[in-house]
Every structure is written in structure tokens, then in C-alpha cells.
């Protein structure tokens, strides 16, 4: 069984792509709505909350978890993989959404921490739109820089977007915020043209059209759900130990918050009704 973890609704965009790519696999989703959003929190707090989420999903029988929250993945993933997971849950693993995006931008596998001598990445510029915690962690520029130092990375925190999207705000309400963040990032670019932007929060695919409208023509917009699904398929091909038990079936949704309220709002992210259960 594969777990998918997010601070709220955003990870449902990733879950939908995973289910579409592997409809026969059982998935368990957990949204930590009681503690959302993670973006304004301290790194230590995010780390503790992420570990608590992992423990809840492992207790549900998951053997592999995808952290579908950029904030949690950027701040906590490497540390929990190295310090917590081997002793707390040996034989199980946790992956994150940041890795497939870095691989897509740099065209270098994640396990390679330094640039191969024969790898010549073309000079280009990448804009990152993300939560404040993801931006402050420096994970995107650090990991991209290791693998493709010729790529210029410019980041822009978007603190208003997750609250707006989570409460189901209309495009008319969200568009001014998106346009404002795009203007600030373009100002940071100066005279250098922008080639690609990363929507570095799993909520943002729902407003991809607003980013595309605000950005200059020709800028590529990368979203994480499809990249994450493709990466997970490749990982599962390499790790047959995570094949599902024949008795495991279906799709379950859990939240640490108000299950009725979460169920009402979450369908927009997943594409059809999502009956959440409360998980303490």
C-alpha cells in the first residue's frame, strides 16, 4: 500500500496523477488539515509534523509514502530519510515531489550529487513559485545548482495562494495575487529572459492557467503531478518489493481535521468526490 501525504488538499492533485498512472494500486491519502498550512511554520515544526504524518500512514499499513507537499519535502525529506526512517521504520521508504522536478530541470538523476564531466546543461533561467518555507529552505536552487550550475534559479514566495485555494476562492479573487507574484519575479529577473517556471506547490496546478496568463508568452510552466507519477512508476519498476499485496485494494482518504468540511472542498482537487475519514 502506498501512502500520499500533504499538509492539506494540494497533494490530491498528485494523488490523482498517481491513480491515473497506476489504477490497480492501493493508495492511502492523509491531509494534515488540522495543522495546515505548513508554509509559515518553522523548519523544526514542519519536520515534527511530517514525521507524525509518516507514522500515521505507516500505521495504516503503508510501506512506501510519497510526500506530496513541497514544503514538507523541501524541509524534512532528506533529514527524515537519513536520521529517522532507518531506525523508526526499517524496510520502508519515503519519497518526495521535489526530486522529480529537479531531475526534469537538470536532466541529472537525483542520486548524482555533482555534475558529471560530460553533462553540459544549457544556460537558462528558471523561476520557482512556492511557499515561504520552501523558498527559505533553499532546496530548489541548492539541488539544481549541484547538477546544473549554469541554470539561474530565481524564487518567489506566494504566501496568499494556499489559503485562497484551500477555501475555494474564485479565479477573480486569485488572479490578482498570481499576477502580483509574477510581476515581482520578473522584476528580479531584470533583463534576463525567463525560460521556465516551476509551480513548486501541489496546490498551484489548480491555478496553472492563471500563471500562464500572467507570464510572458513562450515561458514553459512545469507542474509536479505528472512528473511525480512518472517518477513513481520508474521507482516501482526498480523496487518490486513494493508490489501490492493481492488483498490490498481501493483508495482511502484521511484527514487530521474536520472530515465533513474537508470532503466538501477536496473534490475540486481530486476531480470527483473524496469521502474523508478523521484520523487522529
- Let me know if 237 is exposed, middle or buried by CB neighbors in 10 A (0-12, 13-18, 19+): exposed
pLDDT above 70: percentage of residues in the chain = 96
The catalytically annotated residue of 62, 69, 158, 223 is 69
181 in a labelled binding site: no
Annotated catalytic residue 62: no
Residue 199's SS3 state is strand
Q: Residue 159: what pLDDT?
A: 94
Helix H or strand E segment including 253: strand 251-255
Q: Do domains 2-97+225-278 and 100-223 have the same CATH topology?
A: yes
39 in a labelled binding site: yes
CATH class of residue range 2-97+225-278: alpha beta
Quote the CA–CA distance of 103 and 121 in Å, as a whole number: 12
Can you give the residue ranges of every domain in the chain? 2-97+225-278, 100-223
203 in a labelled binding site: yes
70 in a labelled binding site: yes
**Would the pLDDT of 141 be above 90?**
yes
CATH number belonging to domain 100-223: 3.40.50.1860
Summarize pLDDT for 19-43 with one digit per residue, the tens. 998 888 899 999 999 998 898 899 9
pTM of the model: 0.87
**Would the pLDDT of 92 be above 80?**
yes
Summarize pLDDT for 98-139 with one digit per residue, the tens. 989 998 888 887 776 666 665 555 678 999 999 999 999 999
9 in a labelled binding site: no
Q: Residue 255: what pLDDT?
A: 97
Residue 19 in grid coordinates: 491513480
Backbone phi and psi for residue 103, each to the nearest 5 degrees, phi listed first: -65, -40
Please state, rounded to an integer, the average pLDDT across all residues of the chain: 90
13 in a labelled binding site: no
Q: Residue 121: what pLDDT?
A: 58
Quote the CA–CA distance of 226 and 232 in Å, as a whole number: 10
Backbone phi and psi for residue 33, each to the nearest 5 degrees, phi listed first: -60, -25
Residue 144 CB coordination number (10 Å): 22
Annotated catalytic residue 158: no
Quote the CA–CA distance of 12 and 251 in Å, as a whole number: 12
Summarize pLDDT for 246-276 with one digit per residue, the tens. 777 789 999 999 999 899 888 878 888 889 9
274 in a labelled binding site: no
Residue 280 in grid coordinates: 487522529
Q: Is 250 left (phi over 0), alpha (psi -120 to 50) or beta?
A: left
Under a CB-based contact definition with an 8 Å cutoff, are residues 3 and 60 in contact?
Answer: yes
Under a CB-based contact definition with an 8 Å cutoff, are residues 185 and 156 in contact?
Answer: yes
The catalytically annotated residue of 62, 158, 201, 223 is 201
93 in a labelled binding site: no
Residue 214 CB coordination number (10 Å): 18
- Let me know if 249 is exposed, middle or buried by CB neighbors in 10 A (0-12, 13-18, 19+): exposed
Quote the CA–CA distance of 211 and 189 in Å, as a whole number: 16
Amino acid at each position: 500500500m502506498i501512502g500520499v501525504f500533504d499538509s492539506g488538499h494540494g497533494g490530491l492533485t498528485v494523488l490523482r496523477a498517481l491513480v491515473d498512472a497506476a489504477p490497480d494500486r492501493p493508495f492511502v491519502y492523509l491531509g494534515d488539515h488540522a495543522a495546515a498550512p505548513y508554509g509559515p511554520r518553522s523548519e523544526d515544526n514542519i519536520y515534527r509534523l511530517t514525521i507524525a504524518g509518516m507514522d500515521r500512514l505507516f500505521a495504516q499499513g503503508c510501506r512506501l509514502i510519497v510526500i506530496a507537499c513541497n514544503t514538507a519535502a523541501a524541509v524534512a525529506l532528506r533529514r527524515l530519510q537519513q536520521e529517522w526512517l532507518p531506525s523508526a521504520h526499517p524496510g520502508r521508504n519515503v519519497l518526495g515531489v521535489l526530486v522529480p522536478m529537479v531531475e526534469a530541470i537538470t536532466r541529472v538523476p537525483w542520486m548524482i550529487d555533482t555534475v558529471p564531466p560530460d553533462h553540459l546543461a544549457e544556460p537558462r533561467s528558471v523561476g520557482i513559485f512556492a511557499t515561504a518555507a520552501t523558498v527559505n529552505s533553499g532546496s530548489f536552487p541548492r539541488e539544481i545548482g549541484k547538477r546544473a550550475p549554469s541554470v539561474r534559479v530565481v524564487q518567489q514566495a506566494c504566501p496568499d495562494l494556499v489559503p485562497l485555494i484551500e477555501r475555494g476562492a474564485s479565479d477573480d479573487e486569485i488572479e490578482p495575487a498570481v499576477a502580483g507574484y509574477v510581476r515581482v519575479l520578473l522584476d528580479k529577473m531584470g533583463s534576463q529572459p525567463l525560460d521556465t517556471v516551476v509551480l513548486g506547490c501541489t496546490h498551484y496546478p489548480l491555478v496553472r492557467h492563471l500563471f500562464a496568463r500572467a507570464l510572458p508568452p513562450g515561458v514553459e510552466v512545469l507542474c509536479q503531478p505528472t512528473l511525480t507519477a512518472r517518477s513513481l512508476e520508474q521507482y516501482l519498476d526498480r523496487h518490486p518489493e513494493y508490489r501490492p499485496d493481492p488483498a490490498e485494494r481501493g483508495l482511502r482518504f484521511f484527514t487530521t481535521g474536520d472530515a465533513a468540511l474537508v470532503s466538501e472542498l477536496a473534490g475540486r482537487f481530486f476531480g470527483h468526490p473524496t469521502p474523508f475519514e478523521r484520523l487522529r
